[in-house]
Amino acid sequence: MSSFQALANLIKFKLAGRPYHASLFRVGMVLEPDPTPFILAAGAIKVADPTGGEKLVVSAVVSLKAGDVNLTRLHLGDSGKFLQLAVSDDGRVEECRYFSLVDRETPPDEDTWDVWLNPDQGLIGWPQFQTLDGQLYDRVWSPGLSRIEPIAFEAKVTAADGSHTLDTRAMLYVRTTGLAEPAPQAEYLMVAVVENGEEAWVDLHAGIDLNPAALTLA
* Burial of residue 144, with CB atoms counted within 10 A of its CB: 0-12 exposed, 13-18 middle, 19 or more buried: exposed
pLDDT in tens, 63-73: 999 999 999 99
Please give the Cα distance from 171 to 152 (Å, whole number).
9
Q: Would you say 122 and 114 are in contact if contact means Cβ atoms under 8 Å apart?
A: yes
pLDDT in tens, 4-27: 677 877 776 666 667 777 778 999
pTM over 0.85: yes
Residue 116 has pLDDT above 80, yes or no: yes
> Could you tell me where the DSSP H helices lie in 34-188?
36-40, 110-117
The whole-number pLDDT of residue 23 equals 76
* Burial of residue 23, with CB atoms counted within 10 A of its CB: 0-12 exposed, 13-18 middle, 19 or more buried: exposed
Q: Where are the domains of the chain?
A: 5-217
The whole-number pLDDT of residue 21 equals 73
The whole-number pLDDT of residue 89 equals 78
Question: Which whole number is the average pLDDT over 35-40?
Answer: 95
The secondary structure element, H or E, covering residue 10 is helix 7-15
